[in-house]
Amino acid sequence: MCWYQDGEAVLEQTTEKLIMVRDRMQASQSRHNIYVDHMRRPLEFTARDHVFLRVTRTTGVGRALRSRKLSPKFLGPYQISMRIGSVAYEIALHP
């Protein structure tokens, strides 16, 4: 047996394993997508609807440290003034 025949066998084995891994990854991704798509629901709002804004508060920047656990996660309710795009809205902020 020549040295290049051993190399060809290793190359074939590696290629087969790569194909197997790719197929398993695709199967796993498709299962995950089916679950996520089932749980996801489209949200659409119209003018004059009220919405809450999800925020991430900064803690400990230039002031006393505050617990993130106790910070509010949502602000609002705010009224939607008009719809700009499919996911863009203009809201009326409080004075």
The predicted model scores a pTM of 0.50
pLDDT at position 16: 96
Longest dimension (CA), the chain: 84
Strand 74-83 to 50-54 pairing: antiparallel
Q: Which amino acid is at 63?
A: R
Domain spans, the chain: 1-41, 50-92
Q: Which residue has the tokens 């197929």?
A: 23
Residue 81: DSSP 8-state: E
pLDDT at position 57: 67
pLDDT at position 4: 61
pLDDT at position 58: 64
Tens-binned pLDDT, residue by residue, of the chain (95 aa): 555 667 788 889 999 999 999 999 999 999 999 988 888 888 889 999 999 998 876 655 555 566 677 778 888 899 999 999 888 999 998 87
Residue 70: DSSP 8-state: T
